[in-house]
Structure 1
Amino acid sequence: MTARTVATTAEGTRMPRRGLGLAVLIVNQLLAGVGVATGMALAAILTTDLTGALAMGGLAQSSSVLGAAIVAVPLAKLAVRSGRHVALATGYALAFIGAVIVIVAAASAFAPLVFLGLAAFGAAAAASLQARFAATEVAVPGFEARSMSLVLWATTIGSVAGPLLSQTGDSVGQAIGLPPLVGPFVFSAVAFATSTVLVATLLRIPKAGHLAIDPTATPDVASEPGPVEPATSASADAATEAAAVDPAATPAAAAAPVDSEASVTTAPPARRVGSWQALRIAVREPRALVAILAIVCSQTVMICVMVMTPVHMSEHGLSLSLVGVVISIHILGMYGASPIMGWLSDRIGSIRVIGIGAAILVTATVIGILAPPDDVLLLPLALGLLGLGWSASLIGGSTLLTTTVDERIRVPLQGATDAAMNVAAACAAAISGVVLGVGGFAAVNVVAIFVLVPLAIAALRLRMIGRQATA
């Protein structure tokens, strides 16, 4: 099937062209970015005003992150059962409901309801994360990572435009009789409603397969290699890594051409695989484990350092405008270079890009340890590199996860990985505040380095197994 044809699923449902699907995801990601950034830019201030407690303002972000973690697995299950487009539409619909709840709670001055609304608001973040995997499913074979990176890059526009609309949204809200700081959530609700309709009507992706479980067998999650690459050193390494997953595989078998669009032929499934069961299956395979740890560890490192940077800068007398500049540089690093990371993943391999990302993350944290508190050059550099390392690790890890695991457990595993990533990020956000109070910003960065240790161990193990298989 090429980019010019229209696919038909096993159920007979016609799908739009690949190009249309990718365009829908890019536009939708832009809208979702506007929706999230517009509301969350003032969420902490709104909750502080409603509760009268500064500490409650910090719970606004935590509520949204936990909400994203809670819905990640149910959305993955829905994608398996009804299709990815249904799951994405449901996530954005939940975020729309969350925005409405926040508006009602603020208008009635009932603060507890705000946190419920922000938790539902977090469903947009979970859906946006799923959208990166959806991009690989509508991509032309061989361009999966680049398609994913384009979808992530669209978030840059939304994330930058969202806060700029906050003042306009507040003015519109007050003009229609809403309390101050509530108007931006009206803009968020409109953006999420548009995203819901757009995905539900224009995006069609086949439902994922199901895996028949044999309790006596060890599932092979790496039975579907990605697109065949030219005979380069990168592809040779990929063949070695594939042999590491299945030591019985021969180099000839590893190098044999594979039709990346061929469906997996299996017996009728006994039952569906749950997200956590898929995770247990995947962690037993070296390549899948590296992919999962790359996603979870990079997110944890990024959140651990990023959320404490504004506090660290404010404590040492730096202006709020400078804080805003540093965070903007960080966001630019996260999303601005994503097309480059996608291109590199397709050209040199996902594992190499994960290694590049981990090296950049270590560099960023070392700069954070050594930088003086009032340095206006090194702190922006550290945060920019932090975002860049996150981009490389997330895109490399997500691409490796998509191309390594069996199609029949892919979507449940993606949901479990995103849930684990968000839970780890929420814990990191909570713990980093304690670490900052005890040991300062340098201690926060030291802890962030140690978060990368499991990824380094898993990568070394994969490399050793690959060398043994080659020998």
Structure 2
Amino acid sequence: MTERMPRAAAAAPRRPRRGLALGVLVANQLLAGIGVATGMALAAILVADLTGVVAMGGLAQSSSVLGAAIVAIPLARLAIRAGRHVALAVGYGLAAVGALLVVAAAASGWAPLVFLGLAAFGAGAAAGLQARFAATEVAAPGFEARSMSVVLWATTIGSVAGPLLSEFGNEFGEGLGLPQLVGPFIFSAVAFATSTLLVATLLRMPRAGVLETDTVQTGSGAVSNDTTEGEASRLDDPAVGAADAPIGSFSALREAARSPRSLFAILAIVCSHTVMVGVMVMTPIHMTQHGLSLSLVGLVLSIHILGMYGASPLMGWLVDRVGSVRVVLLGAAILVSAAVIGILAPGDDVLLVPLALGLLGLGWSAGMIGGSTLLTTSVDSRLRVPLQGATDAAMNVAAAASAALSGLVLGAFGFAGVNMVALLVLVPLAVVGLRLALSSRAVSA
């Protein structure tokens, strides 16, 4: 027996080191945050200058968001076939190419090329979103949400540092003989190229979609706050879903939508992001229309970003402690509070408007982390990665539509109308949440 144990140990597959993988994801997210924020800080102004039409500047954000939506599902499929590190490297590599296309468009004066570049640039954001799911795959059992929140938190540093580098990047570009506002995209290209090399060479992950919970035999039969008995038996069996045929993203979305828990998770992600984007993009316009300074607008947006990413470790801790469903409901309540303040607050109120934007970011954080964790743990490994890709694609498409339509709503009904629409977007989440609560009570009875 003593002779067999070393052979069995030698035959056991080596698992990637969780700490190293999580550290690479955190460092990479910081670089990617710098890459996104450095370029996008001036993208709208650059597009307006190239096209000569101020209104076209708003399409800069839409092009990037749509680009993220387009690549979300292909990146998920690539993660299944080749591994998370390959999918992330391809996403960041596309973003680096997109940044160089923007530079080429500005240097040549060919405006259509800039929209293609910004669409490819959006692949960096899509890869950053996929990284949050990758963090759960290297987390110790019971720490999935906290690992996800740490990776999202790293985005805070990049999002703050990126705009601060814009002026220096502009001067650097002018020193190379490039037009104004182009230099920051060179910095973005360098940041994304570094991210590509980092994940391609150092990041090693388990098979995409497989959690530690899938392979650890608990023996005690204990389950998390968000896991039913049927789900627990599925998660305890790592063989479940492993032998099944691959499933497409939209098929995974249809199958998951039949479960109230999975549907609740999908709506938590999509609705939270749609509400956040729709209100956030119109807030600067609303503030400047009421005579507030650009410096105050920048401060309010900083408070908003701090609420989105700075509080993510707290949200991750809460999810692991009290459960995903409760945190999603908390996030929905916070988003409702933010919308109500936005409806009632005067446009020049220097206290209530920042409060509303801070709460908007905080509610997004709770909905995103709670919903993403619930989405990951409520389905088996066969559905997990395709469903993640489909959900991120739906989230970005909804956000692009929200950004485009919120301008029309602002013009017709004012900022109060924008926030009223935000409340309507949360209705499906509330309905499915009520259905989930009723079904849980029925099961308990």
1:373 positional shift: 1.1
Any idea what the Cα deviations from partners look like across 1:86-143, whole Å, max 9, x if unmatched?
1100000000100010011111111110000000000000000000000000111111
Higher helix share goes to which structure?
A: 2
1:266 positional shift: 5.3
Q: Describe the SS at the equivalent of 2:191.
A: helix
| Matched AA of 1:303 | V
1:15 positional shift: 5.0
| 1:323 pairs with 2:297 | yes
Tell me, yes or no, if the aligned pair for 1:227 and 1:259 is still in contact at 8 Å.
no
CA distance in 1, matches of 2:39, 2:238: 42
Residues 225 and 377 of structure 1, relative CA distance in 2, 3 Å threshold: farther
1:267 positional shift: 7.4
Partner of 2:238: 263
Partner of 2:396: 422
| 1:39 pairs with 2:14 | no
| 1:196 pairs with 2:196 | yes
Partner of 1:438: 412
Partner of 1:95: 95
1:264 positional shift: 2.3
| Matched AA of 2:168 | T
Residues 191 and 209 of structure 1, relative CA distance in 2, 3 Å threshold: closer
Tell me, yes or no, if the aligned pair for 1:304 and 1:425 is still in contact at 8 Å.
yes
Partner of 1:144: 144
CA distance in 2, matches of 1:185, 1:283: 40
Partner of 1:159: 159
Q: Describe the SS at the equivalent of 1:317.
A: coil
Aligned-residue Cα RMSD (Å) equals 2.4
2:345 equivalent among 371, 390, 409: 371
Partner of 1:280: 254
| Matched AA of 1:264 | A
1:178 positional shift: 1.3
CA distance in 1, matches of 2:37, 2:431: 36
Residues 173 and 288 of structure 1, relative CA distance in 2, 3 Å threshold: same
Partner of 2:3: none
Partner of 1:119: 119
CA distance in 2, matches of 1:314, 1:182: 26
Any idea what the Cα deviations from partners look like across 1:435-471, whole Å, max 9, x if unmatched?
1011000010000011011011111101111111111
Partner of 1:403: 377
Partner of 1:391: 365
* TM-score (norm. length: structure 1): 0.88
1:225 positional shift: 11
Residues 153 and 426 of structure 1, relative CA distance in 2, 3 Å threshold: same
Tell me, yes or no, if the aligned pair for 1:287 and 1:404 is still in contact at 8 Å.
yes
1:208 positional shift: 3.7
CA distance in 2, matches of 1:323, 1:466: 44
| Matched AA of 2:96 | F
Any idea what the Cα deviations from partners look like across 1:291-345, whole Å, max 9, x if unmatched?
0000000000001100000111111111111111111100000000000000000
Matches within 5 A, 1:25-104: 25-104=25-104
CA distance in 2, matches of 1:163, 1:118: 17
Taking every aligned residue pair, what percent have the same amino acid on both sides?
Answer: 71
| Matched AA of 2:263 | L
Partner of 1:349: 323
Residues 278 and 375 of structure 1, relative CA distance in 2, 3 Å threshold: same
Any idea what the Cα deviations from partners look like across 1:373-405, whole Å, max 9, x if unmatched?
110100000000000000001000000011111
Q: Describe the SS at the equivalent of 1:41.
A: helix
1:372 positional shift: 0.6
1:226 positional shift: 10
Partner of 1:22: 22
CA distance in 1, matches of 2:147, 2:206: 17
Residues 295 and 309 of structure 1, relative CA distance in 2, 3 Å threshold: same
Partner of 2:440: 466
Tell me, yes or no, if the aligned pair for 1:33 and 1:156 is still in contact at 8 Å.
yes
Structure 2 gap segments, 5+ residues each: 1-10
CA distance in 1, matches of 2:284, 2:20: 40
Tell me, yes or no, if the aligned pair for 1:47 and 1:111 is still in contact at 8 Å.
yes
| Matched AA of 2:407 | G
Tell me, yes or no, if the aligned pair for 2:214 and 2:235 is still in contact at 8 Å.
no
CA distance in 1, matches of 2:219, 2:147: 17
* TM-score (norm. length: structure 2): 0.93
Tell me, yes or no, if the aligned pair for 1:156 and 1:332 is still in contact at 8 Å.
yes
Any idea what the Cα deviations from partners look like across 1:60-81, whole Å, max 9, x if unmatched?
0000000000000000010111
Residues 118 and 238 of structure 1, relative CA distance in 2, 3 Å threshold: closer
Q: Describe the SS at the equivalent of 2:348.
A: coil
2:285 equivalent among 311, 314, 320: 311
Residues 422 and 314 of structure 1, relative CA distance in 2, 3 Å threshold: same
1:207 positional shift: 3.0
Any idea what the Cα deviations from partners look like across 1:244-273, whole Å, max 9, x if unmatched?
xx5xx9xxxx6x8x976x52245743x310
| Matched AA of 2:23 | A
Tell me, yes or no, if the aligned pair for 1:264 and 1:407 is still in contact at 8 Å.
no
Q: Describe the SS at the equivalent of 1:273.
A: coil
CA distance in 2, matches of 1:419, 1:268: 26
Partner of 2:274: 300
Tell me, yes or no, if the aligned pair for 1:226 and 1:404 is still in contact at 8 Å.
no
Partner of 1:105: 105
| Matched AA of 2:69 | A
| Matched AA of 1:450 | L
Tell me, yes or no, if the aligned pair for 1:293 and 1:455 is still in contact at 8 Å.
yes
Residues 170 and 226 of structure 1, relative CA distance in 2, 3 Å threshold: farther
Tell me, yes or no, if the aligned pair for 1:16 and 1:202 is still in contact at 8 Å.
no
CA distance in 2, matches of 1:299, 1:225: 32
Residues 452 and 228 of structure 1, relative CA distance in 2, 3 Å threshold: farther
Tell me, yes or no, if the aligned pair for 1:238 and 1:349 is still in contact at 8 Å.
yes
Q: Matched residue pairs, number?
A: 433
Structure 1 gap segments, 5+ residues each: 1-10, 211-222
CA distance in 2, matches of 1:44, 1:209: 36
| Matched AA of 2:402 | A
| Matched AA of 1:206 | P
| Matched AA of 2:81 | R
